[in-house]
Amino acid sequence: MTLRTITEVKKGINWVGAVDWTVRDFHGYSTYKGTTYNSFLVLDEKVTLFDTVKKPFKMDLIHNLYKVIDPKKIDYLVVNHVEPDHSGSIPEIVELIQPEKIFCSSRGKKALLDHYHREDWPYEVVETGQEISLGKRTVQFIETRMVHWPDSMFSYIKEDELLISSDGFGQHWATSERFNDEVDQSELMAHAAKYYANILLPYSALIQKLIANVQKMDLKISMIAPDHGLIWRQNPLQIIQAYDEWSRQISRQKALIIYDTMWHSTEMMAKAIADGLAENGVSIKLLDLAVNHRSDVITELLDAKAVIVGSPTLNNGILPRMADLLCYMKGLRPLGKIGAAFGSYGWSGESVKLLTKSLEEMKVKVVHPGVSLQFVPDHAGLKQCVDLGRDIAKAMKEEAE
Ligand code: FEO
């Protein structure tokens, strides 16, 4: 089910996108509250559509366009990003509106050709700083290469001080509201942080450069309209400030104990490690992978200093949910973390060695050799775990000094 309501975001600029209330997975990211695919229609001498929607939602977009204007009167299509959640309906939209020009970055043109194989579309390649006139309005393009695809770019409408920011500053959250000041602020920021942690974290260094570039360009920004979630109308700079903080990967005195367990021995160890950390004032999240989705674990990782991972040994390896988490985490390239491993075993006992190797491969500074205990922990074994927690707390304090 979708919500078929258009919203005027600025005079003559309408949100005409689609709300996806039911999507629950976005290539491995748990979109447990759905998402939106935002698309913006600008009425000017050159009527311009910025971005489209995921293919199954093409009729929502077309329906919304008809509410505003005969779609055949649309002159320009701007493609800020070619990932199919924004470009999937382009073939039908191009067929319908027959645009005079399709504006995109050079890598955007390549990606459009690689996805839709249409040499005959009227591509117009643009680059950072380039401007086009829509009549009363001027659009300036800002390439945001690898934030998060090679083709990605922002479109800035000068006269409206509106930044259409593609995936940047987005959130996966289906709502009937369109603006940031209409929703619960803590939930909004939680979705924005989750989006950053799971999509943009690997490009943090580039985001730092992008923020510096945008500041140098001295753009006046009164509204930021991402292609997912709420539009930042009230204090739009707050989300740029949050990105600045997240992209610096500044962590606090917070430790994650992430584990999976077979017969609760590794879980007993996790709780003992938590005791050692808690008695030293460290904020802890105990994350059992049986009940915590990988993408929520990564959101918690965003501001955590320590990451302590635990798994029993299974068939000379680790439990599959832990392997999944480590594979996902490695791709997101978190920086500046410290950590250690733990786990129980029956006879061969490889898990701690394997977990430690994984942490090292992710450039997590391993500050403890880890604890490996056979079958069910006794008091002496649990004491080793408490000591591991204490040692991590000590290392966190030293790193903070
Ligand atoms: Fe929302 Fe990169 O697509």
Instruction: Please state the φ and ψ torsions of residue 292, each to the nearest 5 degrees.
Output: -120, 125
Would residue 148 show up in a list of annotated catalytic residues for this protein? yes
Active-site residue among 195, 196, 203, 243?
195
Kindly tell me if the per-residue pLDDT of 130 is higher than 60.
yes
Average pLDDT, the chain: 97
Write the pLDDT tens digit of every residue in 47-83.
Answer: 999 999 999 999 999 999 999 999 999 999 999 999 9
What are the structural domains of the chain?
A: 7-247 (3.60.15.10), 252-396 (3.40.50.360)
Q: Where are the beta strands (DSSP E) in 79-232?
A: 101-104, 123-125, 131-133, 138-143, 153-157, 162-164, 223-225
What value does the mean pLDDT take over residues 142-157?
A: 96
Q: What pLDDT was estimated at residue 1?
A: 39
* Predicted local distance difference test score (pLDDT) of residue 381: 98
Q: Is the pLDDT of residue 346 over 60?
A: yes
pLDDT at 2 over 60: no
How sure is the predictor about 4, in pLDDT bands with cuts at 50, 70 and 90? low
Predicted confidence band of residue 5 (pLDDT cuts 50, 70, 90): confident
CA–centroid distance, 71 to ligand 1, in Å, is 24
Catalytic residue (one of 37, 44, 143, 148): 148
Residues with a CB atom less than 6 Å from ligand 1 = 81, 83, 85-86, 148-149, 167, 227-228
167 C-alpha to center of ligand 1: Å?
Answer: 5
Active-site residue flag, 228: yes
**86 included as an active-site residue:** no
Q: Spell 123-142 as b/e; 16+ CB within 10 A means b.
A: bbebeeeeebebeebebbbb
Tell me: the pLDDT tens digits for 16-49? 999 999 999 999 999 999 999 999 999 999 999 9
Region 123-131 average pLDDT:
97
CA separation for the pair 352, 344 (Å, rounded): 9
Q: Given pLDDT bands bounded at 50, 70 and 90, which one contains residue 95?
A: very high
Beta-bridged to residue 252, according to DSSP, are 304
**pLDDT of res. 257:** 99
d(CA 131, CA 286): 50
Q: Express each pLDDT in 258-274 by its tens digit.
A: 999 999 999 999 999 99
Are the C-beta atoms of residues 131 and 217 closer than 8 Å to each other?
no
Give percent of the chain above pLDDT 70: 99
pLDDT digits over 217-256, tens only? 999 999 999 999 999 999 999 999 999 999 999 999 999 9
124 pLDDT higher than 60: yes
Catalytic residue among 29, 44, 76, 81: 81
Nearest CA to ligand 1 atom 1: 167
330 alpha carbon – ligand 1 mean position (Å): 20
Which pLDDT belongs to residue 35?
A: 98
Q: What is the mean pLDDT of residues 307-315?
A: 98
CA geometry: angle 297, 289, 366, nearest 5 deg: 65
Nearest Cα residue to atom 2 of ligand 1 = 83
CA of 226 to the centre of ligand 1 (A): 10
CA distance to 61, 105, 127, 139, 217, per residue, from 142 (Å): 25, 9, 7, 10, 10
